[in-house]
Structure 1
């Protein structure tokens, strides 16, 4: 029986995940505080007075700034305080809702990333609009069996965090999730519908521990399967609490 193996959310786009045991899903929304904030990389398309979805290229992101994988982070949801530890060991803490606390972090990022920073850094958020790669409020599912199969075919271990999914599941056949678009699943108290396959970009080629570009994941997917998809987007159709080790059942 397939089950929920792990829950990951990424409070600030491009940085490390927060690993949770339980979370409450709401109808028509992504995970609470998942990609709720992003760091704008120089002047871009984001409008604070009329926030909405804009291209990920406006923000610091793994595909453009692979060194971000070397930063570890912690998120205090109650106080909305974000703690970062840079690769050199520097620990910086910011109140995500207080711009006056952000400058030391931005200064350190600018020194670390050097010419990868295009200008002024700014922490932004768009209310209920998550800073995901798509405009739809869809959490993502990663099938761990698919990741293991790809790892065997590439001959190297692949940390599932490469795929930056929210709900990591196990117990399905490898790649079965790709053929389940349109199906509904019950997990814990929630019901979800599989909406679309996820086409993978170069960000998956970055090792989430070492920050090295040590694999070409899109190419490996295409060479082995004729597509570049891994994981699926889902919509929340009935809200409720989901917990690690909950089973997933087709409805």
Structure 2
């Protein structure tokens, strides 16, 4: 690959499917490796669903996701259905909803998230066993990416509500295993791209429903290229060699 091919906007597009694949592998391993059983002990998906999605913020002591942040995270879902789901989780005593609409974990919800982090630690250790060096490199590079993305978010006027700002930086208590760091940093980076995508289709005059229905073709390609451009900023913190290393390391991880 030459320098043009690893420019920030190009690597943003190349990395997106690799990030998704690795993240999904970790999440599915967690579900199949004890997460589903854990959820059932706390009342099932009806009680725990959004806690899993919001874990990188709500696991933190005092962590909250405000109304606009939650709307951004769930922008492709029916807002009425989302509210009803939250109502059920409030009724199960897992989530607290403030008068301003901000969400936080109850004591019981926090206990669930503590156990979920433990499940993710166990399954990612097994899933990525033998790849310690790759995982360590990815954790370090993702840490730099997310830190720079937060700086950029403070400097830039965002045309859409930010799911990334709602969930970043991920909660990483002392002693968090490297597999959990990788999983949750990948998760948070995905929301950065999700905001870039939403900004791109908003600028093109779309809504969540219309972009979901947009078929492949020149218009969708243009939106994807604009998404890459808007998502590229944080990658400037990595050298061209590091960008390629990140891509290669993600490709080499099982899952």
- TM norm structure 2: 0.25
- Structure having greater relative contact order (Cα 8 Å, sep ≥ 6): 2
Greater fraction of residues in helix:
2
